[in-house]
């Protein structure tokens, strides 16, 4: 079976590609390498076809989607902060690019497309946990663009018969997440500073909380969404761990794992950031059989091992709780 993974050289995408390749799938990756890195696919020589291209390029996307039975659409311009700095680019890639990928998947006769959405679509509503029946209220252009992609995915399921499943990821972390990016997520940013014996910088008071989700859990959800029955088609569902951790608790946990005691430095909150986040994951459990495998502390240990240059240990088997290059 041919599987296309857009954004497959990125953080989540490369972890998914490795899982798919290990299962024997014929994997094609489409990535423009603007945030993804070819070295994320190292060691997969011959088992993965990399096409370097932009998801806004209809011809390039059609080439990558040809004969694909299953499409995982993970390519995006990430980061709330980036979207506030350049909302037009965020819209063009995340909304317009998603429409291009959906059209290519439909034209190629793909059976299903799994779309990577975001918990940011819920906005800053005080209700916890966040569940799929809640009204959505995006605070940032990034969140709005992800919600637009969901709407297009649902419309293609209803209008064209292309099965689509939207997964709302909650604060994913783990190996291959770039700590050096200007828009790095909080865990690699904190971990990299602590490993360098520097104080992590917290935007706000540190009492804000997140449902941190280790990448192996997200990869599992993607695979399950690709295999699930027709009841999942046209649906959006949360993919998180189902517990929340404050940023102060995160710093304390990282210090404990590293054997350090470095206090964070606090600065002003950033615009567009959500105060608290927690996923209700019962819909994903019901429709695709999702249950998280790796807890936050264990995932942090594996992430620190990878950042420090060591090999991340194997993930547990039981639930953790109830190249072709474009000319330039």
* Residue 32 DSSP code: -
* Residue 4 DSSP code: E
Q: Given this model, what pLDDT does residue 327 score?
A: 31
Give domain status of residue 13, yes or no. Answer: yes
199 lies in which domain range? 2-307
Mean pLDDT on 264-268: 95
Give domain status of residue 135, yes or no. Answer: yes
Give domain status of residue 44, yes or no. Answer: yes
Please write the tens of the pLDDT for every residue from 71-111.
999 999 988 889 999 999 999 999 999 999 999 999 999 99
Alpha-carbon gap, residue 174 to 187, rounded angstroms: 8
Question: Any bridge partners for residue 202, and if so which?
Answer: 266
Helices (H), the chain: 11-22, 58-65, 80-85, 87-91, 97-108, 141-160, 186-195, 215-227, 247-258, 282-288, 296-307
Give domain status of residue 314, yes or no. Answer: no
pLDDT at residue 315 is higher than 60:
no
124-131 CB contacts, 8 Å cutoff, 24+ apart = 124/274, 124/275, 126/276, 128/244, 128/276, 128/278, 129/211, 129/242, 129/278, 129/279, 129/280, 130/238, 130/277, 130/278, 130/279, 130/280, 131/238, 131/280, 131/283
Q: Given this model, what pLDDT does residue 84 score?
A: 94
Give domain status of residue 319, yes or no. Answer: no
In which element (H, E) is residue 169 found?
strand 163-169
| Number of domains the chain contains | 1
Token pair of 51, please?
């096409």
- Print the SS3 string covering 241-293: CCCCEEHHHHHHHHHHHHCCCCCCEEECCCCCCCCECCECCHHHHHHHCCCCC
Supply the CATH number for residue 59's domain: 3.40.50.720
Alpha-carbon gap, residue 73 to 283, rounded angstroms: 21
pLDDT at residue 182 is higher than 80:
no
Alpha-carbon gap, residue 166 to 76, rounded angstroms: 14
- Measure CA of the first residue to CA of the last residue in the chain; give whole Å: 31
pLDDT at residue 162 is higher than 70:
yes
Please write the tens of the pLDDT for every residue from 223-232.
999 999 999 9
Please write the tens of the pLDDT for every residue from 42-79.
998 778 999 999 999 999 999 999 999 999 999 999 88
pLDDT at residue 317 is higher than 90:
no
Residue 304 makes CB contacts below 8 A (sequence gap 6+) with: 191, 195, 254, 257, 258
Give domain status of residue 159, yes or no. Answer: yes
Q: Given this model, what pLDDT does residue 240 score?
A: 98
Give domain status of residue 262, yes or no. Answer: yes
Which positions are annotated as active-site residues?
142
Give domain status of residue 328, yes or no. Answer: no
In 3D, which of 185, 177, 171, 152 has the Cα closest to residue 73? 152
Alpha-carbon gap, residue 148 to 152, rounded angstroms: 6
């Amino acid at each position: 079976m041919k599987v296309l993974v857009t954004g497959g050289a990125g953080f989540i995408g490369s972890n998914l590609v490795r899982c798919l390749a290990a299962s024997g799938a014929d994997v094609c990756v489409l990535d423009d390498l603007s945030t993804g890195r070819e070295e994320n696919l190292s060691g997969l020589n011959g088992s993965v076809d990399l096409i370097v291209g932009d998801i806004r390029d209809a011809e390039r996307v059609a080439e990558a989607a040809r004969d694909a039975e299953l499409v995982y659409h993970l390519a995006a311009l990430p980061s709330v902060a980036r979207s506030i700095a350049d909302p037009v680019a965020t819209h063009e890639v995340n909304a317009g690019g998603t429409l291009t990928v959906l059209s290519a998947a439909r034209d190629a006769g793909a059976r299903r497309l799994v779309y990577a959405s975001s918990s940011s679509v819920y906005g800053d509503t005080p209700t916890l946990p966040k569940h799929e029946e809640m009204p959505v209220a995006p605070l940032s252009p990034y969140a709005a663009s992800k919600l637009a992609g969901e709407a297009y995915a649902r419309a293609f399921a209803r209008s064209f018969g292309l099965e689509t499943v939207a997964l709302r990821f909650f604060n994913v972390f783990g190996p291959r997440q770039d700590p050096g990016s200007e828009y790095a997520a909080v865990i690699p940013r904190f971990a990299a500073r602590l490993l360098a014996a520097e104080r992590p910088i917290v935007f706000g008071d540190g009492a804000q909380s997140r449902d941190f989700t280790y990448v192996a859990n997200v990869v599992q959800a993607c695979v399950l969404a690709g295999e699930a029955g027709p009841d999942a088609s046209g649906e959006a569902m949360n993919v998180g761990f189902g517990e929340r951790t404050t940023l102060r608790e995160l710093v304390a946990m990282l210090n404990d794992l590293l054997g350090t005691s470095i206090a964070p430095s606090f600065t002003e909150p950033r615009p567009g950031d959500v105060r608290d986040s927690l996923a209700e994951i019962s819909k994903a459990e019901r429709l695709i059989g999702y249950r998280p495998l790796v807890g936050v502390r264990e995932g942090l240990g594996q992430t620190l091992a990878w950042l420090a240059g060591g090999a991340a240990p194997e993930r547990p088997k039981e639930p953790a709780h109830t190249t072709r290059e474009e000319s330039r």
